[in-house]
A and B are shown apart, each in its own frame.
Chain A
């Protein structure tokens, strides 16, 4: 197995606030990795560094063995990295279908009939077909989160980064989301998933890492990690107090 993504000593701080502190890990091809940690631990910042919307101050990101640290966010997407945003970023005046079409035409490089078919498939897969013609700006929060997933899939990524897409779902919706993500994974896509809804995460991922103050403080099998005292204290302790 080769690493699809590798972070080497990635660091970024905003003044005194450290969002990534010598962050290193590797993601195997086809692996699903879960990321947990308290709010403000640097989880979303890690995604910003991987996707290139924020540049690292030091360290390197390798994608499929190639260094991508110097590439723009757009180039990284075209290379095969797509993300969903924790705070949905829809193209408000475009329809749901057209939102996905942006990803298919620009990220995946599809055009014409092929792009349309790809988008229709994804709308069915993510349960958004009934809203295909609705302006994305008028969607509910849950629909917007689903659109984030649909749009990321539209770029036909080999690495999918999911940022808290299960929050606020009912039990039934959560099950259908897990099924969708497992389908995506079965098609060979590697996944990194930041999620507070731990049981959803555990239904998908092979491995967990815990991040706090921009540092990786634990890494391993999901069961071991969740049972470790360190996680119970730092992660669940803050969760209970929030």
Chain B
């Protein structure tokens, strides 16, 4: 028995401490971007942040809960339309409309989940896409929001964000940065919690999970609803930046799901780091290859195929397998207690050798 208290459990490693310090420095630099970056750079960075948030959420859904949805555009578009509806009809400020859109996303996700959780695997994936199409067709019926051709956010509402254009752009930039920080923090807190242990277990083996007391349906339902809420909030912010919404743009499977899946798969599914790395690579590729037109998409496809063949767990999966790095301190490591350092490191090995042979 561990009555001697010889071992203890730690979560932070030197690597995760350094990563946290570096992250804070980067975050401060990014928060100051309105003073050092140009207008186009800020717009690009905002877009990157929002994609990073979408990718992290899809990763939580597919990489941990095993819910491979190709219909998350349903919630992006729903959130976008909520922003327009709440600001134009209910008089909410855009800032308030974003969390309320998240709440609405959670509410609509409940019946959707009850319905599509009856489907498994590929059928589930197709089901989510069908639901997204239903949402798109539904949005096209709302004539007050422009029907099929969409609508623009009224100038008065745009002005309510901030008076000057520079201040408006800085504000929406900070909102995008805040959004990705909130999403990453929530994903991190969730995965480090007891519920996160259950989700990670489900990711690895469902049969063993249920036999060890995990209610799989409930765990997946929780993740689905939380992800839907946050995805809807991100969607609201995306369309606050675009200032214009239409059913085709809001519920685009390419923009809000295909690219997101690409990001998660090349970065490393089932890890927090994967979607972050994937987003940066995706934007690097896009910005350097954008002039090539259709060839750009072919290169994206090629990159995805090469990575799936060479590193099926994505870039971060590849790195982690070789280095054991864990930047977000999610793993728990068993170590010997401090005073027993040095000589006892040997003892640890020896103490259990008789049983191990």
Contact = CB atoms under 8 A, between A and B. Distances in A.
Interface of A: 51, 53, 72-75, 77-78, 82-83, 85, 89-95, 97-98, 101-103, 105-109, 111, 116-117, 119-121, 123-125, 127, 129-133, 151, 154-155, 176
A78 B208 contact: no
A133 B334 contact: yes
Given A74-B215, A101-B197, A107-B212, 7 more contacts: A89-B207, A93-B270, A94-B204, A95-B333, A97-B333, A105-B197, A151-B208
Contacts of B8: 116, 120
A106 B213 contact: yes
A9 B50 CA distance: 58
A94 B351 CA distance: 24
B352 A102 contact: no
A49 to B, nearest CB: 13
Contacts of B214: 74, 102, 106
A97 B197 contact: no
Contacts of B213: 74, 77-78, 103, 106-109, 155
27 contacts: A74-B211, A74-B215, A83-B211, A85-B208, A89-B207, A90-B204, A91-B204, A92-B205, A93-B200, A94-B200, A95-B332, A102-B197, A102-B200, A103-B212, A103-B213, A105-B197, A106-B198, A106-B209, A106-B213, A107-B212, A116-B8, A124-B1, A125-B1, A130-B349, A130-B352, A130-B353, A133-B334
Contacts of A155: 212-213
Contact of B9 (A94, A107, A116, A127): A116
Given A91-B208, A120-B9, A127 B355 contact: yes
A116 B351 CA distance: 20
Contacts of B344: none
A91 B2 contact: no
Contacts of B352: 127, 129-130
B210 interface: yes
A77 B194 contact: no
A120 B7 contact: yes
A102 to B, nearest CB: 4
B168 interface: no
Contacts of A121: 1-2
B195 to A, nearest CB: 9
A72 B2 contact: no
A111 B333 contact: no
A139 B348 CA distance: 19
Nearest to B330: A98
Interface of B is mostly: helix
A224 B201 CA distance: 43
B208 A89 contact: yes
B203 interface: yes
Contact of A120 (B207, B208, B212, B334): B334
B349 A53 contact: no
Given A91-B208, A95-B332, A129 B7 contact: yes
A73 B208 CA distance: 10
Given A102-B209, A117-B2, A151-B212, A93 B203 contact: yes
Q: Please provide the 7 A-B residue pairs with the shortest distance between their CB atoms, ordered closest to farther.
A: A127-B355, A107-B213, A91-B204, A132-B334, A77-B213, A89-B208, A130-B352
Interface in B166-209: 194, 197-198, 200-201, 203-205, 207-209
Contacts of B308: none
A82 B212 contact: yes
Contacts of B355: 127, 176
B151 interface: no
Given A93-B270, A121-B1, A121-B2, A127 B356 contact: yes
B197 A73 contact: no
Given A73-B210, A74-B213, A116-B9, A105 B332 contact: no
B216 interface: yes
Nearest to B317: A93
B2 A120 contact: yes
Contacts of B333: 95, 97, 133
B9 A106 contact: no
Contacts of A73: 210-211
Given A105-B194, A105-B198, A121-B1, A95 B331 contact: yes
Contact of B211 (A77, A117, A124, A125): A77
B212 A102 contact: yes
Contacts of B216: 74
Nearest to B348: A130
B194 A111 contact: yes
A143 B211 CA distance: 20
Nearest to A47: B211
A98 B192 CA distance: 12
Nearest to A120: B2
Interface string B328-353: 00011110000000000000110111
